[in-house]
Copies of this chain bind each other. A is one copy, B any other.
Amino acid sequence: MAKMTPRTLSGFMELLPAPQQQMERMMDILRTTYSRYGFTPLDTPVIESSEVLLAKGGGETEKQIYRFSKGDADLSLRFDLTVPLAKYVALHYNDLAFPFRRYQIGKVYRGERAQRGRFREFYQADIDVIGDGKLDITNEAEIPAIIYQTFSALGLKRFQIRVNNRKILNGFYAMQELAEKSGDIMRTVDKLDKIGPQKVRDLLISEIALSETQADEILKFIAITGSNCEVLNALQGYAGKNEVFDTGLSELNTVVKYLAAFGIPEENFAVDLTIARGLDYYTGTVYETTLLDYPEIGSVCSGGRYDNLAEYYTDRQLPGVGISIGLTRLFYVLGEQGLLNPSLPTAPADVLILPMTEDLAPAIALATQLRQNGIRTQLYTEQKKFKAKMSYADKLAIPYVVFLGEDEINAGVVACKDMVSGEQTKFGFDETLQRIRVGLAEKNAGCVILEK
């Protein structure tokens, strides 16, 4: 028979078993951390009706969308988790209690140009808090705590949550009578890291037609840096001139004020006036998170406050605040940078049992007993040479191999080999179990991410 060469589409991540186990650990940590903050898990369809999904109009992403027909239906694959959330909240409004706090970890699809490290199918891991009409500023203050806990739980230390407030930016531009150009200005300022202040100034003058004075005012403003306290003090100098600015400054003060109570160390947080989050969507606090030793990766967790989640579906005002982690890309870059802890177990089983008797009943009973005690156990029953069996355990990095022969069965003991230390013991079931448990706890004690 002619064979079809198996392949996986480019831009689609398909992991081998060991890295998949690392990915599963990361997802577990995200689920646990998000749950800890009172977010409920949601799952929405990957496919939506195109007219519903694209109600807002796709803009730049529209070309990237996987859109197709099935029968009479015009369908699209979701390209983020925010539009499906907007649809969900508008559709199920009467069945939800607000503030509605949900997390969702799911695959989204964008037909981007294939490129190393760019994915067409990738996981996003989102949390959002949605209010009905109003949403208190404390929710915006809590988000950095969640980001901090999430990355700390993954094992990172050298990261920084950078925060700004769009009202401060909008208010400032209004003071300069540049409100109408604020979108263009923010998009230009966003390039600061890449092209430097002088080129930003040039662009502001040449492309956005600002006067030299206006451009200098803007550069002076975004040059405000220092400790959180210093930045807030400098901003205080602009207060009293514009209501929106003052509201933004008050909100930013609140966010910073509760940092300590939320347990966020000062070094993991910075007020950064250059952050705007391109989208017009955000209206208050905005967040970016960068890895201090890998600035080239860009933000690994971004989001912000928005005033109107679902305006394309409902007249209700549904303000919210949320963040998103691009999980597939994060996992990829962590791997590329060698930051995934290689010493955490990735084996499919904790124990491999090698039966040494014709009758398998005692080995099966032992496997059942280990499983009932929470030990992931594989029974190896293929007809192979002993060496092949041991090399199977080696290849899969299974930490313990148990031998069960007539001698052990008659003596009521279990022969157990620690595949790392090489130590082999013969104890009764309870003691063997206890030793395996202690060993596994040690092996699992590390974090997913191991900074260099």
Contact across chains for B111 and A40 when beta carbons are under 8 A apart? no
Does A296 have its Cβ within 8 Å of any Cβ on chain B? no
Contact across chains for B378 and A101 when beta carbons are under 8 A apart? yes
Does A292 have its Cβ within 8 Å of any Cβ on chain B? no
Binding-face segment, A277-285, A360-368, A408-416, A427-435:
A360-368
> In this complex, what residue of B is CB-closest to A65?
B70
CA distance A443 to B49 in the complex (A): 40
Contact across chains for A368 and B92 when beta carbons are under 8 A apart? no
A 364-392 to B, binary, CB cutoff 8 A, 1 in contact else 0: 11001001001111110111000000001
Does A222 have its Cβ within 8 Å of any Cβ on chain B? no
Binding-face segment, A136-144, A154-162, A180-188, A297-305:
A136-144
Does A426 have its Cβ within 8 Å of any Cβ on chain B? no
16 contacts between A and B (CB under 8 A): A1-B312, A4-B312, A6-B88, A13-B45, A14-B88, A16-B92, A21-B41, A37-B371, A38-B377, A45-B121, A46-B107, A47-B66, A66-B70, A68-B69, A97-B396, A136-B382
Q: 20 extra interchain contacts, Cβ-Cβ under 8 A, other than A38-B352, A45-B121, A97-B395?
A: A4-B51, A4-B312, A6-B86, A6-B313, A7-B52, A9-B45, A9-B75, A17-B102, A21-B41, A36-B376, A37-B378, A38-B377, A68-B69, A70-B111, A136-B381, A136-B382, A149-B371, A261-B360, A261-B364, A262-B364
- Within 8 Å CB of A261, what residues of B? 360-362, 364-365, 368
* Distance in Å: Cβ of A307 to nearest Cβ of chain B: 14
Q: Which listed residue, B14, B20, B131, B360, touches A40 by the CB 8 Å rule?
A: B20
CA distance A51 to B71 in the complex (A): 21
Q: Which listed residue, B40, B91, B258, B364, touches A17 by the CB 8 Å rule?
A: B40
Does A197 have its Cβ within 8 Å of any Cβ on chain B? no
Residues of A8-26 at the interface with B, using a CB-CB cut-off of 8 Å, are: 8-9, 12-17, 20-21, 23-24
Does A209 have its Cβ within 8 Å of any Cβ on chain B? no
A 30-57 to B, binary, CB cutoff 8 A, 1 in contact else 0: 0000011111111111111101100100
- Within 8 Å CB of A371, what residues of B? 36-37, 149
Contact across chains for B382 and A134 when beta carbons are under 8 A apart? yes
CA distance A139 to B379 in the complex (A): 9
Contacts A4-B52, A6-B91, A87-B8 given; does A45 touch B382 at CB 8 Å: no
Does A311 have its Cβ within 8 Å of any Cβ on chain B? yes
* Distance in Å: Cβ of A98 to nearest Cβ of chain B: 8
Contact across chains for A16 and B135 when beta carbons are under 8 A apart? no
- Within 8 Å CB of A20, what residues of B? 40-43
Contact across chains for B361 and A38 when beta carbons are under 8 A apart? no
Does A263 have its Cβ within 8 Å of any Cβ on chain B? yes
Does A163 have its Cβ within 8 Å of any Cβ on chain B? no
Contacts A68-B68, A135-B382 given; does A43 touch B23 at CB 8 Å: yes
Contact across chains for A3 and B135 when beta carbons are under 8 A apart? no
Does A349 have its Cβ within 8 Å of any Cβ on chain B? yes
Contact across chains for A138 and B263 when beta carbons are under 8 A apart? no
Contact across chains for A24 and B4 when beta carbons are under 8 A apart? no
Contacts A40-B17, A97-B392, A261-B365 given; does A131 touch B12 at CB 8 Å: no
Contact across chains for A101 and B348 when beta carbons are under 8 A apart? yes
> In this complex, what residue of B is CB-closest to A351?
B38
CA distance A188 to B9 in the complex (A): 40
CA distance A23 to B43 in the complex (A): 10
CA distance A52 to B36 in the complex (A): 42
Q: Which listed residue, B69, B86, B311, B377, touches A37 by the CB 8 Å rule?
A: B377
> In this complex, what residue of B is CB-closest to A113?
B71
Contact across chains for B262 and A368 when beta carbons are under 8 A apart? yes
- Within 8 Å CB of A149, what residues of B? 371
